Amino acid sequence: MSQVVPETTASIQMDASHPVWKAEEILALYELPFMDLLWRAHETHRQHFDANVIQRSTLLSIKTGGCSEDCGYCAQSARYETSLERERLMPLDDVLTAARAAKEKGASRFCMGAAWKSPKEADLDKVLEMVRGVKALGMEACVTLGMLQAGQAEKLKAAGLDYYNHNLDTAREFYAQVVQSHTHEERLDTLHAAQQAGLNLCAGGIIGMGESRKNRAALLSELACLPKPPESVPINHLVPIPGTPMGELPPLDPFEFIRTIAAARIVMPTSWVRLSAGRMEMSDELQALCFFAGANSIFYGEALLTTGNADVSRDDALFTRLGLKAI
């Protein structure tokens, strides 16, 4: 079956072709027998994608630490005592060197993240140069810069940016348990601004922060019911960081994580569903089940923004064992 590549968002008019998924309906998916849920998700996946193809992205922290926000999971918050060292915005040449290395290793998308509440104009100008440089290498470009101010999404689009990443993190009802320095609505405002500017969205959440299954279903409902569902949906497994409020949380049941991947695939059938943070701690068997359930994108490389990632050689070996093709 040929692979469906989602179109770029042209406007934020509600797309009448995609169904409205209520949280209660998604919760019912979660509660299906595990094998039935996986079979339904896998059938949905095959209707829209080649089930043996995985898209690989590389993520680089271009400005690390010192963020003013209080996200309870994040080592980059200036409010918490962690071992993370603050760093200034990386020089353009260093970023492009990293992008070239990622391309040589097989990544097709290069993602750049900066620890800001929102970018200042002088910093945004530097990021725009990075975007242009990555595009000149023939790669897709993605950035995550925090909440966007008026006109910034349009500047990113004009520079050639493909994807803007801004996760909802968790459901509206649980949001205050995770973040208090900004609101859930402010995150939604940035997603709408990016869509209005014609950018593809990379928007997902973090699983395992103490939320309920009902909260997970509500998060997926909010994502699926955006005017256009995100073209890319990263599902992050919490990596507890010592020194943060969530640094001592117990790990989530792996089957619950797989159920979340499967539910995301069913309700957002044409989106790339990405295994993101926490993959280093996952067994090969768990990852294989996630791929069967509809995950078809990974971060490729030994580091994410502030956490480790699966070793490249391990990923290559796993792809060989499973007969997967990387793009």
- CA-based angle 172:176:178, to the nearest 5? 100
Going through the chain in order, the beta strands assigned E by DSSP cover 53-63, 109-114, 140-144, 163-165, 200-202, 205-207, 232-237, 272-275, 297-299, 325-326
Surface-to-core class of residue 232, CB atoms within 10 Å of its CB (0-12 exposed, 13-18 middle, 19+ buried): buried
- 107 contacts 298 by C-beta, under 8 angstroms: no
| Choice among 40, 56, 74, 216 that is catalytic | 74
| Structure letter (DSSP) for residue 236 | E
**Annotated catalytic, 202?**
yes
> Catalytic one among 56, 71, 216, 279?
71
The single residue of 40, 56, 187, 202 carrying the catalytic annotation is 202
67 belongs to the catalytic site: yes
Instruction: Clarify whether 225 is annotated catalytic.
Output: no
142 flagged as catalytic: yes
Give the active site residue among 109, 274, 279, 290.
274
**Catalytic member of 40, 56, 109, 111:** 111
Q: Indicate which residue of 40, 67, 216, 290 is catalytic.
A: 67
Q: Do residues 109 and 142 lie in contact, with contact meaning Cβ atoms separated by under 8 Å? A: yes
Question: Which parts of 151-295 are beta strand (E)?
Answer: 163-165, 200-202, 205-207, 232-237, 272-275
Residue type, 247: G
Cβ pair 240, 247 in contact under 8 A: yes
Q: Of 40, 56, 109, 142, which residue is the catalytic one?
A: 142
Q: Is 74 a catalytic residue?
A: yes
Active site residues: 67, 71, 74, 111, 142, 202, 274
